[in-house]
Amino acid sequence: MLGFNDYLLVSVILFFVGALGVLFRRNLIYILMSLELMLNSINLTLIGLAKYSNDTNPQVLILLILVVAAVEVAVGLGLAINLMRVKKTVDVDLFKSLKG
């Protein structure tokens, strides 16, 4: 019998896979994609919550989280383009000029 806990389990695992990607990769584009993984796995919890409490509100939250995710990607890609123009790389570990 499929229950809410299954949704929760899968979503926690996917969330931390995304977090792993953020910590682990050095390319800004990969970090952006990992952030998207994190936000989407949160949506999985919400849809489980909606389904098992017969509630419309989590679905609204999912829609608004989609907005946030879209904004994050758009801004991040704009940043990547700017970084490429200014510093000729999007490798975040190579940014070390600010060290006092």
Q: Hey, which residues between 14 and 33 contact other proteins (CB under 8 A)?
A: 14-33
Site for other proteins in 37-56 (CB under 8 A): 37-56
What is the full DSSP assignment across the chain?
---HHHHHHHHHHHHHHHHHHHHH--BHHHHHHHHHHHHHHHHHHHHHHHHHTT-SHHHHHHHHHHHHHHHHHHHHHHHHHHHHHHHS--BGGG------
* Least distance between other proteins and beta carbon 89 (Å): 10
* Least distance between other proteins and beta carbon 7 (Å): 8
Site for other proteins in 59-98 (CB under 8 A): 59-87, 90, 92, 95, 97-98
* Least distance between other proteins and beta carbon 88 (Å): 10
Residues that bind other proteins (rule: CB under 8 A) add up to a total of 91
Contacts of 68 (CB under 8 A, 6+ apart): 39
